Amino acid sequence: MSASARSTSHVAYLGPPGTFTEEALLTQPDLAEADHLLCRSIPEVLEAAADGRANLGFTAIENSIEGTVNVALDALIFEHDLLIQREVIIDVRLHLLGLPGASLETIQKVISFPVATAQCRRYLTNNLPHAEEAAANSTAAAARDLAVSQDAAVAAIGTALSQQLYGLELIATDIEDHPENQTRFVAVSSSGVPSPTGHDKTSIVVFQRADRSGSLMGILAEFAARSINLTKLESRPTKKALGDYCFLIDLEGHIADQLVADCLTSILAKHGEVKFLGSYPTTTRGHEEKNSNATSAWSEAQSWMDSLRSQVDEA
């Protein structure tokens, strides 16, 4: 039984109240009703899930504009053995928040989570080119710190939820550079793989045994040979030596699928070590029929081969 099917009595996520992480978590009824453990950083969230202080850790892992949330991904790859239970994708809406009476003319400093600040670069350049920028642990922490400081010369980039929670005013709304901006979150647990739903995703990390010409092509050929579609391919330094990389791969399908299981087995046997990060329901649909047909064809081929091998005389 997966962790998401078991009790979710404690869920750890990045605080304080009002973060985008909290907004995403509240879209999941079971997680919203659970007891919440608010953490000061993403590594602390994953540590809480790993050491048992929380049943689940819930964290951002990828943004459509800024890419991977490296601190989360590296912790999953190198520091903890956690399994992804589900993914949640929400639209990102960022606002410029200030104390009552504040305006663009009074702002001399902008604070926020660095990823959020980067997503508003064009707005800041055009409207607050001389403002100092400062980092906070989260967008909600920036809003909270502004409310505590009562400094009218400071603004925070944050969410509508944090604006309401900390009694701030909206100086400007929807200041993100790209309106199609989205962030992907994952819930992780120390054990359990959710049952296949027919529209699943599997995440793995492949560590090459040798850095040789064609190594990556050989890994990718295993997926191509089985018509398994990849939705993400990213290299990450292994932190062992300059130029030594591993590969994060997201693929369509579930470890319970024969094609996926056979593919990962082949990669492990021929190409390198594989760290399994989970098979879980995906929010992206559209390839179920293709995957089903491929799996059916593979099963028929396997049955054909088994029938031939059954005729071999035993010595």
Phi, psi of 295 (to 5 degrees): -65, -40
- Contacts (Cβ under 8 Å, ≥6 apart) of 249: 203, 204, 205, 206, 230, 232, 233
Distance CA 240, CA 219 (A): 21
Distance CA 207, CA 238 (A): 8
Name the token pair of 192. 């359990």
Catalytic site residue 113?
no
Q: How far is CA 95 from CA 105, 112, 156, 189, in A?
A: 16, 11, 8, 32
Q: How far is CA 117 from CA 67, 120, 122, 139, in A?
A: 14, 5, 10, 9
DSSP 315: -
Catalytic site residue 247?
no
Distance CA 57, CA 36 (A): 10
Catalytic residue among 20, 58, 113, 185: 185
Distance CA 180, CA 182 (A): 6
Distance CA 38, CA 23 (A): 13
Catalytic residue among 183, 202, 282, 295: 183
**Residues facing residue 14 across a β-bridge:** 39
Active-site amino acid positions: 183, 185
